[in-house]
Structure 1
């Protein structure tokens, strides 16, 4: 058995191929399903919801910028030019 993984959530590759639909259902209902190949960890089947949670940023961009070590530094701001852009021949 692979360390830290329950036998009911672990599948050999050959079995996973033939029971893929069942494994997807189990991932949605019971959490990640682990696939082994030649006795070694090879892949994990996750529900889409688990995948989204895993990939979601912990903070918003504004929170990230506020937490920056440079947030209290004096940064010069620049005024945007009011001039119209020059014409470019394409």
Structure 2
């Protein structure tokens, strides 16, 4: 991962963007302290699961096809019936 000082990243923003897409995440520092990481969109989508449907998410759950999960419905009334 390439490390950019914030001033350098601002001055060469198009290069930072290109490097994020071609080489991977780019770290941005301010006064020597890491403050941000620039990712390309495909890396961001992969990390956040943005392209996954709900069905895909449920299928990758560790509980998928688990027989010992017991889900009981709460049978209490949803509102006060005396009103």
Q: TM-score, normalised by structure 2?
A: 0.66
Indicate the SS of the match to 2:35: strand
1:63-83 superposed Cα distances (whole Å, 9 cap, x missing partner)? 53x81789642646xxxxxxx
Structure 1 unaligned spans of 5+? 77-90
Hey, what's the Cα distance between the residues in 1 that align with 2:59 and 2:28? Answer: 39
Tell which structure's C-alpha radius of gyration is larger.
Answer: 1
Q: Is 2:31 the counterpart of 1:31?
A: no
Give the aligned CA root-mean-square deviation in angstroms.
3.1
Question: 1:41 maps to which residue?
Answer: 34
Aligned length: 69
Q: Which runs of 4 or more aligned residues in structure 1 lie more than 6 Å from their structure 2 counterparts after TM superposition?
A: none
Structure 2 unaligned spans of 5+? 74-83
